[in-house]
Amino acid sequence: MTERKYFGTDGVRGKVGQFPITPDFILKLGWAAGRVLSQQGTKKVLIGKDTRISGYMLESALEAGLSAAGLQAAFTGPMPTPAIAYLTLTFRAEAGIVISASHNPYYDNGIKFFSAEGTKLPDHIELAIEAELEKPLTCVESAELGKAKRIVDAAGRYIEFCKGTFPSEMNLKGLKIVIDCANGATYHIAPSVFSELGADIVAMGVEPNGININDKVGTTDIRALQKLVVEEEAVLGIAFDGDGDRVIMVDHEGNKVDGDQITYIIARESMRRGDLKGGIVGTIMTNMGMEVALRKLGIPFTRVKVGDRYVMQKLIENGWRIGAENSGHVILLDKVTTGDGIVAALQVLASVVGTGMSLKDLCDGMSMFPQVLENIRYSGSGDPISSDAVMIATAAVEAKLGENGRVLLRKSGTEPFIRVMVEGENEEEVQGYAFEIVGAVKASF
């Protein structure tokens, strides 16, 4: 595969004000994307964003670039990433663009693209956009310039879509639920979805100010949610990330329920209803506990490398419907075209209502292996992972773990980190092994 210069595993992302997240480059990116996409049909592109303060600047730059290429921009304002995927499909747009850095801090931002089918852009389209970026920026004739407009009912459309994925014979009446919207794009969406289905909602992370997105709230920091669930005596809590494509849940005792556990519950419920098609796609980060639990149920399981685009590719290749990352990206292809935190949470709630069991009880069929994940900040040009000392340390740990554990080292595709993951049956041993490998990685810088 041709190496990409700008696109990562999830679009173009970086720190605002530093290349490539600068107004001039984003303008050029909008123009380049417009040049490629204008060769297709409607010449209309949807643009949504999360609640970062930099979104105002970047959407203006994108609009200018798209207009120069002759495309019309339709703005939704703050909307979850999966909402843009859905609306791109329903509006028959050429593409959808989301201005977001997902779970990253407010000072980062990025640009994600969706195809007319509501899926991530195919590789050849991304490469075509990169090729256009190498050319001088031009402008179509004045009469052909793209116009811009706002879609005023985008939120309502998406709220109704989400509610439609919940079984029509069920409701959430009598359930007290705490919802953490991460001061992000779901702040005006998720509370309406769950309350309109009958739940008693306690909302947090619903006061975005441009810089508090993902700040001690959301999927990356659920401590406040855990505390509030217990204080409110709620049946469970739901946390979304800044752009709403991830979900992490909390049971009534305050225990974390991650993407692997959520996926297991959904898969088992699908099997119970008789509509499970094929197996489950996870990633190299998926907890071994899920693999073991699915095997006991007779459900096939396969791993791919980290990134929801790779989960999606394998699902399509196998003709399966359910795939996920433990970080909370859950893809349910019978309902959505990309990871959708709200829709995934609703399917877990359908299992809660349908079985009469608590979230804690629903998780009991899956025993999580202790897993230690360490992030080591690294922005150098070398590859510490392949150094002799790191490889020797890793091999030694793998030998000790045998078949009852795993070691994984990788560079993050979205942040300047080397990630070290060690998994095994004994938590104390796993922590010690992780410490050994982290030490070897740091010593190799």
What is the C-alpha separation between 205 and 263, in angstroms, rounded? 24
Residue 245 annotated as binding? yes
Q: Are strands 330-332 and 301-304 parallel, antiparallel or unpaired?
A: unpaired
* Contact between residue 30 and residue 132 where contact means Cβ atoms under 8 Å apart: no
Residue 333: CB atoms within 10 Å:
17
Residue 215 annotated as binding? no
Computed on alpha carbons and rounded to an integer, the radius of gyration of the chain in Å comes to: 22
What is the C-alpha separation between 183 and 204, in angstroms, rounded? 8
Active-site annotation holder among 38, 54, 67, 102: 102
Two structure tokens written together for 370: 């202790």
* 54 belongs to the catalytic site: no
What is the C-alpha separation between 139 and 209, in angstroms, rounded? 35
DSSP line for 226-245 = HHHHHHHT-SEEEEE-TTSS
What is the C-alpha separation between 71 and 40, in angstroms, rounded? 11
* Contact between residue 253 and residue 230 where contact means Cβ atoms under 8 Å apart: yes
Residue pointed to by tokens 């791993």: 303
Side chain identity at residue 279, one-letter code: G
DSSP line for 354-367 = HH---HHHHHTT--
Residue 241 annotated as binding? yes
* Contact between residue 46 and residue 74 where contact means Cβ atoms under 8 Å apart: yes
Q: Interior CA angle at 352 toward 289 and 366, to 5°?
A: 10
In 3-state terms, what secondary structure has residue 208?
Answer: coil
Find the helix or strand (DSSP H, E) in which 64 lies.
helix 54-68
Residue ranges of the annotated binding site for Mg(2+) are 102, 241, 243, 245
Which residues are annotated as catalytic? Answer: 102
Residue ranges of the annotated binding site are 102, 241, 243, 245
